[in-house]
Amino acid sequence: MKRIYYLYLIIITLFLLLTFSTLFFFKASADEKYQLLGDRIIADFRKMLKHENADLLSLSLTLSENEELKYALIHNKTKDGYSLIHDIAERFREFTHIKTLRIQVLDAEFSIFVQSWSHKWENFPLKWYRNDLQSMSPSQPPKIGLETGRRLTFKSTIPLKDVNSTIGYLELIHRVDPFVDRLREQHINLFVLMDKQYSEKAVMMKNYPILKGYTIVNKNFNHILNKKAKNLDWVELHEKSYLYSSGYLYLLTPMYNSSHKEIGKFLIIVDAKQLEEYETGHEKFSYVTGFSDKALFNFVKYWESPSGSYKKESDNQLFEMLAKLSKEDRSRYIPDAVEILQKYSKDELIDIILENNYKEIKKGEIQ
């Protein structure tokens, strides 16, 4: 009888060990799965951030060559400057996905010359609110990224040149909410969380909600998921950067400004259904960016040679913008375009024409 008792005890012990081992293996496998999926989603999310910045930078480079704008700044013609950038901002809001586009022009001392949305802050010095401007100099390249200030927004800052001297700076700005909306179309929820140390200068965000000590920058956040996020183990989330809870994968990744300084966090939330679709479809399509693999390849190729057959990237951007503008706005840039083309040889012009033809899709029958 005693021998049978020990036999049962051994069997039960082995069964428990097997059960615990299976559970441990299952948890380890699940953790590895969520970590792998999280890495993929964050990598795609970073690509979409780069795409957002690239859009804003390309617009800035083109508009920084506008001679009328430079003339207005040099001669302190605020009325003309306001009218010009207000009309341009309205056009881009109407015809592009950047619906919150704002344009402002700063003088050489970083005081506001004109803003496309208001006359209220003209001559206002921005340096106190903008740490990124305090270290900027005319010799620096264009600056693009998320920046803190009175509000946290995407900003692209380009020096305005007259001959070889810097006469001021052109700045394009748009809010984070449209970016969040485009992610939500792919069933990805995003919380843009600014570190509380920037709250003092963020005077236009004083009453924004707080999540775990961070200011929630985007107004279009999901309120139900906000309640769920408050109940998470944030110590574990910070340590692992991912956490699966109640059918949602939570991903926490740093938010950097243009100087690669951490200014907060991105909290990305994906439900179980979308995770499954993402896992099975990732090799064919990037669900976060909305780009096919071919489009991503072309995007990288563009950054390797942004000017294409043009001599300068700014030339390329000018002619791309001309195709998007109305007839009335286009006429303003025609003299600049003619002057640029006169600097190209016949062979160079042929290369440009051929490159543009390759980009078009030709349909029809061969006779």
* Exposure string for 292-317, b = 16+ CB within 10 A, e = fewer: eeeeeeeeeeeeeebebbbeebbbbb
Task: Show pLDDT as tens, one digit a residue, over the chain (367 residues).
Answer: 555 655 555 555 555 555 544 444 444 466 788 888 889 899 989 988 988 888 888 888 888 888 999 999 999 999 999 999 999 888 887 777 677 889 999 999 999 999 999 888 888 888 777 878 877 777 777 889 999 988 999 999 999 988 888 999 999 998 999 999 988 888 899 999 999 999 888 888 989 999 999 999 999 999 999 999 999 999 999 999 999 998 999 999 999 998 899 999 999 999 988 888 777 765 444 444 444 344 444 444 444 444 555 566 566 665 666 665 556 666 666 666 667 666 766 566 656 555 554 444 434 433 3
pLDDT score at 130? 81
Cβ(322)–Cβ(310) below 8 Å: no
CB atoms within 10 A of CB 258: 18
Q: Phi and psi at residue 264, in whole multiples of 5°?
A: 160, -155
Angle between helix 2-63 and 313-322 (nearest 10): 80
Q: Which amino acid is at 128?
A: W
Whole-number Å distance between alpha carbons of 97 and 182? 10
List CB contacts of 207: < 8 A, sequence separation 6 or more: none
Going by the DSSP 8-state scheme, the letter that residue 205 receives in this structure is G
Q: Which amino acid is at 294?
A: K
List CB contacts of 290: < 8 A, sequence separation 6 or more: 48, 182, 185, 186
Going by the DSSP 8-state scheme, the letter that residue 286 receives in this structure is -
pLDDT score at 100? 84
Q: Which residues pair with 143 in a beta bridge?
A: 157
Alpha helices (runs of H) in 186-292, residue ranges in sequence order: 223-230, 234-240, 272-281
Interstrand relation of 210-211 and 165-174 (parallel, antiparallel or unpaired): unpaired
Q: Which amino acid is at 141?
A: P
Whole-number Å distance between alpha carbons of 321 and 334? 11
Whole-number Å distance between alpha carbons of 211 and 119? 34
Give which of 245, 203, 250 is closest to 222, Cα–Cα.
250
Give which of 83, 148, 70 is closest to 119, Cα–Cα.
83
Three-state secondary-structure class, residue 227: helix
Global pTM value: 0.69
Q: Phi and psi at residue 110, in whole multiples of 5°?
A: 70, 30
Q: In what order do the strands lie in the sheet with 165-174?
A: 112-115, 102-107, 165-174, 153-162, 143-147
Give which of 100, 150, 147 is closest to 125, Cα–Cα.
150
Q: Which residues pair with 112 in a beta bridge?
A: 106
Q: Which long-range contacts (CB under 8 A, 24 or more apart) does 294-297 make?
A: 296/47
pLDDT score at 58? 84
